Homo-oligomer: A and B are copies of this chain.
Amino acid sequence: MSKPPTIHDVAKRAQVSVSTVSNVLTGKRPVAEATRRRVLEIVQEIGFRPNRLAQGLVSRSSQTIGVVASGLEYFGPSRVLVGIEQEASERGYTLILNLIHEPATVDAEAVLAHLITHQVDGIIWASPHIGKHLEQRQEALSRVPAPVVLINHPNASGLIVIDIDNQRGGYEATRHLLANGFQNIGLIAGPPDWHASQMRRQGWELALREAGKEPEQRQIAYGDWSPQSGERAFYQLRATFPELDAVFAANDQMAIGALCAAADLNLRIPEDIGIVGYDDIPEAAFIRPRLSTVRQPLLELGRLAVQKLDALIAGNLQPSSANASGDLLQPLLIVRESSQLRRSPE
């Protein structure tokens, strides 16, 4: 089989120089209309496709974005990735995907090195911060010779960080439960070293304090986002916090696990226990009782990441000018059956 045609083949057939072909294709310099047409005709005819490797090598821009993600089995991360991909492809970027399976132990340096090696124009780090080496990792990120946008991370100076306002989500969910007459609201939290987890907990704490209730450690049970862990956490909560009459779960899957445990205990939802989840997975509106939850603009978050990165690459945005408060998208509380108590507050 013969080699694919190169720009030289096009040039020869069109009786022009390779530079002219290049100029026709990139549009960086004007070319006479007649020549332009002739070249394009030949390109069509022999099916020439420029080699991106060669383009990237000399132009020092690969039109490529490295994405570091994890937890694609969960609703949130996979939606964010879809948003990233849509915006990236609309802007002419190609995505290089790196999944992290063990966020706690990942060698960030190695992952970054791998992407740099591929000459990515920028990096979106969408893997949740886990573990203690935060400063270390952020230092690695700011040393990288390419712009970086972080998702799901605490603010870091000199780095662009965007997120959805998890504290606000936790706050709204808890306030809604309080407003509906629930008194003793337990928290089924996500893994404590996830940033999103911490923020949702802070929102829950804030709402409790505003209502004059000091949150206690025994009101919290930790899960790992899975339904199983939600079920287990619910039993644990009933043991350490017997007065429990409502639960805010940090995601819908754990909420479903809790719902399941409640059913096993013959507890009525929402009469005996009110429940609010987080994410608004498609199933949330169709399980019984229909699950109240917090919906997040995940697709938009992914798109925003690419927009920021593109601005960074183009030099229209300085990492130092990052304004944290401006880069928080707002979640939306969706009230359904699982949290609607008809009895009035005592």
Contact = CB atoms under 8 A, between A and B. Distances in A.
A256 B291 CA distance: 13
A50 interface: yes
Contacts of A116: 49
Contact of A117 (B51, B95, B101): B51
A171 B67 CA distance: 40
The range of chain A's interface size is: 35 or more
B94 A114 contact: yes
Given A50-B117, A52-B118, A97 B99 contact: no
Interface string A82-102: 100110010000111111010
Given A49-B117, A85-B97, A282 B263 contact: no
Of the candidates A119, A253, A283, A288, the one having the most CB atoms from chain B within 10 angstroms of its own CB is A283
B57 A86 contact: no
Interface stretch (A73-81, A126-134, A199-207, A209-217): A73-81
A4 B51 contact: no
A57 B52 CA distance: 9
Contacts of A170: none
Nearest to A57: B53
Contacts of A52: 117-119
Contacts of A288: 259-260, 263, 288
A265 interface: no
A259 B231 contact: no
A335 interface: no
A51 B56 CA distance: 10
13 contacts: A52-B118, A52-B119, A53-B54, A57-B57, A67-B97, A94-B118, A95-B97, A230-B286, A231-B286, A259-B286, A260-B287, A263-B288, A288-B288
Interface of A: 1, 4, 49-54, 56-57, 62, 67, 72-73, 75, 78-79, 81-82, 85-86, 89, 94-99, 101, 113-114, 116-119, 145, 226-228, 230-231, 253, 256-257, 259-260, 263, 282-283, 285-288
Given A50-B117, A94-B118, 13 more contacts: A49-B116, A52-B118, A53-B56, A78-B78, A89-B98, A226-B282, A227-B283, A227-B285, A253-B282, A253-B283, A256-B287, A259-B286, A283-B287
